[in-house]
Amino acid sequence: MPHPLTTQIIDVTRVSGSETNTLTACSTDEFLCTRVLEWTGNQDLANAADWIVGKPSALVGLILIGLVVRWVLHRVIDRVVKRAEVGILPNRVSKAMTGGRMGAALNLTEDPSHTRRVQRAATMGSLLKSIVTGVVMVVIALMFIAELGYDIAPLIASAGIIGVAIGFGSQTLVKDFLSGIFMIFEDQYGVGDEVDLGEAVGTVEAVSLRVTRLRDVNGTVWYVRNGEILRVGNMSQNWARTVLDVSVGYGEDLARVRSVLADVAHDLWEDEDFKGRIIEEPSVWGVQDLGPDAVLVRVALKTAPLEQWAVAREMRQRIKYRFDHEGIEIPFAQRVLWMRDGDPRAAGDAADSPAEPPPGAAPAEGPARAEGPA
User: How many other C-beta atoms lie within 10 A of the C-beta of residue 369?
Assistant: 15
Share of the chain above pLDDT 90, in %: 25
Quote the Cα angle for 236-237-239, to 5°.
90
- pLDDT tens digits for 132-149? 998 899 888 888 888 777
pLDDT given for residue 300 in this prediction: 94
β-strand partners of 247: 296
| Beta carbons of 262 and 300 less than 8 angstroms apart | no
Residue with more model confidence, 233 or 47: 233
β-strand partners of 225: 211
User: Is there a shared CATH topology between the 186-234 domain and the 240-326 domain?
Assistant: no
Q: Strand, coil or helix: what is 62?
A: helix
Average pLDDT on 219-247 reads 90
β-strand partners of 330: none
Q: What Å distances lie between residue 292 and 83, 249, 329, 333, CA to CA?
A: 58, 10, 15, 8
CATH assignment of 186-234, among 2.30.30.60, 3.40.50.10790, 2.60.40.1890, 3.30.200.20: 2.30.30.60
pLDDT at 70 > cutoff 70 = yes
Lowest mean pLDDT across 180-184, 297-301, 334-338: 334-338
CA 297 vs. chain centroid, Å, equals 36
- pLDDT tens digits for 33-48? 666 666 776 666 666 6
- Which CATH architecture best describes the domain 240-326? 2-Layer Sandwich (3.30)
Quote the Cα angle for 296-300-304, to 5°.
150
DSSP 165-231: HHHHHTHHHHHHHHHHHHHHHHT---TT-EEE-SS-EEEEEEE-SSEEEEE-TTS-EEEEEGGG---
The chain-wide mean pLDDT, for the chain, equals 75
Q: Strand, coil or helix: what is 365?
A: coil
| Beta carbons of 213 and 221 less than 8 angstroms apart | yes
β-strand partners of 287: 297
- pLDDT winner (highest mean) among 49-53, 153-157, 224-228, 328-332: 224-228
pLDDT at 8 > cutoff 60 = no
Segments making up each domain of the chain, as ranges: 60-169, 186-234, 240-326, 335-373
Q: Which ranges in the chain belong to alpha helices (H)? A: 4-16, 31-40, 43-49, 55-86, 91-96, 101-147, 153-169, 171-186, 254-270, 308-326, 346-350
Pairing type for strands 338-339 and 362-363 reads antiparallel
Share of the chain above pLDDT 70, in %: 68
Report the distance separating Cα 303 and Cα 108, nearest Å.
Answer: 11
CA 5 vs. chain centroid, Å, equals 72
